[in-house]
Structure 1
Amino acid sequence: MEKSAYKIHIIGAGISGLITAQILENHGYHPTIIEASATVGGRVKSDLVDGYTLDHGFQVLLTSYPAAKKYLDYKALDLQKLLPGATIFKHGKAQTIGDPLRNISLLFSTLRSSIGTFSDKLKILKLNTLLKKKKITAIFKTEEKTTLQYLKDFGFSNEIIKDFFTPFFSGIFLETELETSSRMFEFVYKMFGDGLAVIPKNGMQAIPNQLKNNLKSTTFKFNSLVKEVKDKHIILEDGHTLQSHITIIATDASPLISNLKNQETQWKSCDTLYFETEKSAINKPLIGLLADEDALINNIFYHTSVATLNKKSKGLLSVTVIKNHQLEENAFIKKVVAELYSKCAIKDVTFLRRYQIKKALPMLTNLQYEISSTETKLKSTIFLAGDQLLNGSLNAAMIAGERAAMGVIQSLEDGLIVDELTSEYSS
């Protein structure tokens, strides 16, 4: 059978699914991506609202991600750089700290800051040096502990853990107790130290859009919700059945395969609200962290502190909430607006949109960086992709997609896939 004649379906047009399709195309195959929504991107999406580009949750790309460097054209994305630091709001006072070795403009504010002791600042330099030398493979072989225990064992004071590490990494890990594996902490910290945190000028959606535009032999079936995956066919929610030599599930597979229902992925959630603002409380491209323990807000960011395609002269502010709350929407928005004023002196804001992201990050243990292509095979005709196989990052999504595609190619080239499909299923 010709390579292009194989019916290969990828479920999910997120980052992992798009990379899977690219690798298959590179080897002469013509896959079909089935996507439940109307656009590519999965958890990396943006909307245009009132002239502003709103990402589905505050997200950044770390330029040092090895897989991202391999698959993305950074120049074409017109990446906008964030400074390597943060503005911390505590008891109504704002202080900025950062890495002056990477950006000299942060030197004096960091030295003057009361966030952390002098010993803490020396330990940060020590941690930077340690992780710059440590290979990624070594990080993921290190015994796991919680991030909180890691920071305590490293000798950081309770104050800097509470005022900086907790709000900063809560925004990344989407949990407030720093229970996330120390492997993920070391990996993310190293990635921040080795490169830059950036946002494409046209929003995070530009990343999956670029990957989609690279595809030449892939067919897309949008607005198509999959109900169940069988060995040689896929059942859609609308009742249609698709023949499939091979199916790659680049999303949570447990709801789609009957014998995986007891292995459902658990997810972390977050709330992101966008506001139009008259003035900016942070005049540089820095994330804002709220260190008060009673704060509902975890972090804020002015998207208009970097170049965007927005047509308006006012500011665009995103507010991220990690903590659980039982507030109905109007009360929730009012509380967030009140906190912006009381804790950050931010006033005159106009609410634009709220994103309740229930499946923001997979909740994982025994985090890994790599996976072999054979490990992505669930059955002879069903393969798995997605960052939930590894460590919950854009880099992991790309690696998992690549490995799943190579597993499929290996099976096909080894003649492990039977050509015939039964005629009882419509294509």
Structure 2
Amino acid sequence: MSAQRREVPETIVVGAGLAGLACALDLSHAGRRVLLLEASDAVGGRMRTDRYEGFLLDRGFQVFNTSYPQVKRRLNLRDLKLRPFTPGVLARTSKGLVRLADPTRRPRAAASLLPGAFLSAGDLAALAALTARDALLPVRMLRGAPDRSTSDALARAGLSAQAVDDLLRPFLAGVFLEDELETSARFFHLVWRSMARGTLALPAAGIGAVPAQLADRLPEGVLQLGTAVTELTDAGVLLQDGTERAATAVVLATEATTARRLLPGLSVPDGRTVTTYYHCAERSPLREPTLVVDSSLTVLNTCVLSEVTPAYAPAGSALIATSVLGGDGPGREAAVRRRLAELYDTDTGMWQGLAAYTVAGALPAMRPPWPLTRSSRFAPKRYVCGDHRATGSVQGALASGSRAAGEVLADLAGG
């Protein structure tokens, strides 16, 4: 038995998602005794990958952004063997299929951005100015700007209603998991900046490789899987098997509803729910690693994951992921399949449905004014972290966990 396990931990972290992993890593690296408890059989929380009949199925469609500061600080990107998406999207609009691409990364796609090809000269100029501003301004200026809705921000940027409704709304609906564009404009500008400066990609082994890499860096004995916490006690935490584990400090790094149950009185935002359907086809309906968005918003987005990362599907098969707002229900998969036939202009009748993942609370509802970060301190020696305490992103989850570790360290040092 390791020394970490024999000794009473100074801090118990509950939940081994990204926030909990970041918190436990920082506390461990600071030389503190920490115990990370995870109720499930693996780390990652909402960021996990299942294997099914040779397919890699992420628990909900997700992408990985290489430009986040916490990602650069914590992860070895080479070891993840990242495979990039096309720098742009295909949008199915009332006028047909439209490509919106970054001409600085795909010069051959520049023709799609000529005035009149779909967007007007005014919309192209407004979009270019918005992107340049967000990419080049110091991040503190984006963070400190007055907050409003994303819808208001796009209008103030000079984009027409057509550009928003046909291109930006369907794309951003998949980013924010809401189609009214009511999400905080401060968060929108930070996300837009990250997309302009980074690459959207997927690890070769699935999105679950990201938390797995973090977990591999924990000291031996810190992580305990299959260990559910049912309540907090004066001494520490009570486990599902009736065992009490003592610690000076307890950090809740669970999703928002569990955190609120364990910490009565904790205020948490509403959550956005999304369902992702996975289909298998004999042939790829789109021979490129490009995200397709739907201006009708019947679906949020769809892509052929095996075109992004071939390991997502066995040889001779194509894996298609499609996300919709809300939960699954009778007839919904059939409606999605019909819309996919229109989006890909192909017969989907023979596609095999592999799985449907509904993720309740996949993202916090970030309505303005949204605080981009909040203290983890809830009560003496009780802390809470997660994307619902920062921003609904990999960056937000990791940064919130890091902040919790810093506050725990400061409080332990101060007695």
TM-score by length of 2: 0.92
Give unpaired runs (5+ residues) of structure 2.
none
Alignment partner of 1:71 is 2:74: yes
Paired AA for residue 411 in structure 1: D
Please give the residue correspondences for 1:146-225 in structure 2 after superposition, counting only pairs within 5 Å: 146-225=149-228
Deviates further, 170-179 or 218-227 = 218-227
1:259 paired to 2:265: yes
| Counterpart mapping for 1:86-165 below 5 A | 86-91=89-94, 93-111=96-114, 114-165=117-168
Residues in 1 aligned to 2:248 and 2:309: alpha-carbon distance in whole angstroms: 46
Give the match for residue 293 of structure 2.
Answer: 289
Shift of 1:272: 0.3
> Structure 1 residues 387 and 264 mapped into 2: Cα distance closer, same or farther (>3 Å)?
closer
Q: Per the alignment, in what secondary structure is the counterpart of residue 258 of structure 1?
A: coil
Q: 8 Å contact 1:91–1:343 — kept in the other structure?
A: no
AA partner of residue 209 (structure 2): A
The 1:413/1:129 distance shift into structure 2, 3 A limit, reads same
| Partner AA of 2:310 in structure 1 | T
What is the aligned partner in structure 1 of residue 308 from structure 2?
Answer: 306
Whole-angstrom distance in 2 between the partners of 1:163 and 1:45: 32
C-alpha RMSD over aligned residues: 2.0
In structure 2, C-alpha distance between the alignment counterparts of 1:315 and 1:112, rounded to whole Å: 35
2:273 paired residue number: 269
Per the alignment, residue 36 of structure 1 pairs with 39
Q: Deviations over 1:91-110 (max 9, x none)?
A: 48322221111222322234
Partner of 1:381: 381
- Take 1:357 and 1:312, find their aligned partners in 2: how far apart are those partners? 29
Residues 1:113 and 1:327: Cα distance change in structure 2 (over 3 Å) = farther
Identity %: 26
Give the direction of change, closer, same or farther, for the CA distance of 1:141–1:112 in structure 2 (3 Å limit): closer
Aligned partners of 2:64 and 2:334: how far apart in 1? 31
Q: Post-superposition shift, 1:411? A: 1.8
Give the C-alpha shift of residue 181 in structure 1: 0.7
CA displacement, residues 63-92 of structure 1 (integer Å, 9 cap, x when unaligned): 110111000100110111112100111248
Answer yes or no: is the 8 Å Cα contact 1:21–1:218 preserved in 2. Answer: no
CA distance in 2, matches of 1:239, 1:21: 24
How far apart, CA to CA, are the structure 2 residues paired with 1:208 and 1:92? Answer: 41
Contact conserved, 2:9 with 2:246, CA < 8 A, in 1?
no
User: How far 1:364 moved relative to its partner?
Assistant: 3.1
Give the 3 Å change call, closer, same or farther, for CA 32–186 of structure 1 in structure 2: same
Distance change in 2, residues 1:412/1:217 (3 Å): farther
Residues 64 and 171 from structure 1, CA distance in 2 versus in 1: closer, same or farther, beyond 3 angstroms? same
Cα distance in 1 for partners of 2:388, 2:395 equals 11
Question: C-alpha separation between the residues in 2 aligned to 1:111 and 1:83?
Answer: 19
Residue 245 (structure 1) aligned to one of 241, 245, 248:
248
How far is the alpha carbon of 1:223 from its aligned partner?
2.4
Contact kept, 8 Å, 1:93 with 1:344, in 2: the verdict is no
Shift in Å, 1:219: 2.5
Provide structure 1 residue ranges, at least 5 long, that are not aligned to the other structure: 417-427
Distance in 1 between residues matched to 2:381 and 2:218, nearest whole Å: 23
Task: For residues 297-329 of structure 1, give each alpha carbon's deviation from its aligned partner in whole angstroms, at most 9, with x where no partner exists.
Answer: 12101111123324322211000101x47842x
Using the alignment, how far apart are the partners of 2:394 and 2:342 within structure 1?
A: 35
Alignment of 1:380-399 (within 5 A): 380-399=380-399
Q: Distance in 2 between matches of 1:112 and 1:59?
A: 32
Name the counterpart of 1:356: 358
Q: 1:6 to 1:220 in 2, by over 3 A?
A: closer
Q: Would the aligned equivalents of 1:232 and 1:246 in 2 still touch at CA under 8 Å?
A: no
* DSSP-derived class of the 1:255 partner: helix
In the alignment, is the contact (CA less than 8 A) between 1:267 and 1:358 conserved in 2?
yes
Between the aligned partners of 2:131 and 2:276, the Cα distance in structure 1 is 30
Q: Which amino acid aligns with 2:305?
A: H
**Amino acid corresponding to residue 342 of structure 2 in structure 1:** S
User: For residues 128 and 96 of structure 2, what CA distance do their matches in structure 1 show?
Assistant: 25
The TM-score with structure 1 as length reference comes to 0.89
Which residue identity does 2:260 align to in structure 1? S
AA of the residue aligned to 1:301 = C
> Equivalent residues in 2 for 1:8-19 (5 A)?
8-19=11-22
Question: Shift of the alpha carbon at 1:15?
Answer: 0.4
Which residue of structure 2 aligns with residue 423 of structure 1? none
In structure 2, distance between residues paired with 1:239 and 1:325: 34
C-alpha distance in structure 1 between counterparts of 2:159 and 2:388, whole Å: 31
| Residue of structure 2 equivalent to 1:405 | 405
Q: Secondary structure at the match of 1:402?
A: helix
Per the TM alignment, residue 183 of structure 1 is displaced from its structure 2 partner at its CA by: 0.7
Contact 1:90/1:343 (8 A) holds in 2: no
Q: Distance in 1 between matches of 2:115 and 2:90?
A: 13
Give distance in 2, aligned partners of 1:20 and 1:193. 28
| Aligned counterpart for 1:320 among listed residues 309, 320, 323 | 323
Structure 1's 111 and 138: CA in aligned 2 closer, same or farther, altered over 3 A? same
